[in-house]
Amino acid sequence: MMRRRHLLAALAPLPALAQPAFPTRPLRILTAFAAGGGTDLIARTLAQAMTAPLGQSVIVENKPGAGGNLATDTAAQAPADGYTILMGNHGPMSVNPTLFRNLRTNPETALEPIGLVADAPLVVVVGSRSQATHFPALMAEIRAANGTITYGSASNGSASHLAAALLMQMTGLEAEHIPYRGAAPALTDVVSGTLHFMITTLPSVTGLIAGGQVRALAVTGEASIAVLPSVPPVAATVPGYKATAWYGILVRSGTPAPIMARLAEAKRAAMADPMLINRLREEGAEPSAMDGPDFGRLIREERLRWAEVVRRANITVD
């Protein structure tokens, strides 16, 4: 009997070993565009605010290229352990599935949304090449130029590109699109006069507006915003026009639910940080408490909306 009890004890399942708490090392947030642009600024603000609730440093890594697909691919190929986070935005998440015929990564199946971070209107700016001091005057310049005016964007299919394409479609005007690798280099050419105008994210251009290097003529939301109270919406001239940029975080599909819940908790804590709230609003972006499921629905709705703009504008990539 004694031997039988010892044998049963030996065969009994061992207690499960406790899993180490997540995270136990630094995390990284991948951004699809160059340093200095809107996506980069929001990612760095979020990374700083998430450091305390996670108890680990959060590093921002810029991976521009392929219209944002390079960062998406990297996030989708990273281990599904929560240590690699993608700062997803309008272009790579909602436009590229229509823009690129042979995507290496389908963001809808390869990534899982954690939550929306911010939503922001864009702003129409001109530099030394334009004489316009208000938005209708810029429209008159474009009309008179018969398609020879140039405008820049952060990349093909980016929020800045699609906002301008939508504007051209709604007004029946034409202008030549020049894509860049990020908003910052495009804005440099607006300032210098190489480009005529640009529609860009507010975080990427606020400093240039304040310094008088570019003139803000209109915002792309439904109304004026607190940081640019005297700048009217495009819709005041083009009724029904609206184009906003959004920013949210995602991880590789298959990431364990407890890890995703931990990241969502840290994101919620970060969004309550006064530093983050003030910083985003100073740049014209509105902080968001939207959770993962609602963020996923937003991404799907935006894909449908902008697919039509891409097709009508015949936007293609090499």
Question: Quick one: pLDDT at residue 206?
Answer: 85
Classified as helix, coil or strand, 61 is: strand
CA distance 213 to 230: 17
From the list 119, 66, 93, the residue with the least C-alpha distance to 250 is 93
Q: What is the dihedral of CA 155, 158, 160, 166, to 10 degrees?
A: 120
**For the whole model, what pTM was predicted?**
0.78
Per-residue pLDDT of the chain (318 residues; tens, 9 = 90+): 445 554 444 445 544 444 568 999 999 999 998 887 778 889 999 999 999 999 999 999 999 888 789 999 999 999 999 999 999 988 889 988 988 888 899 999 999 999 999 988 999 999 999 999 999 999 999 999 999 999 999 887 788 899 999 999 999 999 999 999 888 899 999 999 999 999 998 878 888 999 999 999 999 988 888 889 999 999 999 999 999 889 999 999 999 999 999 999 999 999 999 999 998 888 788 899 999 999 999 999 999 989 999 999 888 775
Strands of the chain, DSSP E = 27-31, 58-62, 84-89, 111-126, 150-153, 176-179, 197-201, 215-219, 244-252, 286-287
CA 100, CA 316: separation in Å to the nearest integer? 7
Task: Spell out the residues 6+ positions from residue 7 whose beta carbon is closer than 8 angstroms to its own.
Answer: none
Total Cβ atoms within 10 A of residue 280? 26
What pLDDT shows up at residue 19? Answer: 55
DSSP code of 93? Answer: I
CA distance linking residue 85 with residue 76, whole number of Å: 10
The dihedral formed by the CA atoms of 306, 308, 309 and 315, expressed in degrees to the nearest 10: 100
CA 103 to CA 253: how far, in whole Å? 17
Within 13 A of 57's CA, how many CA atoms are on the CB side? Answer: 4
Token pair 């709705």 in the structure block, residue: 301
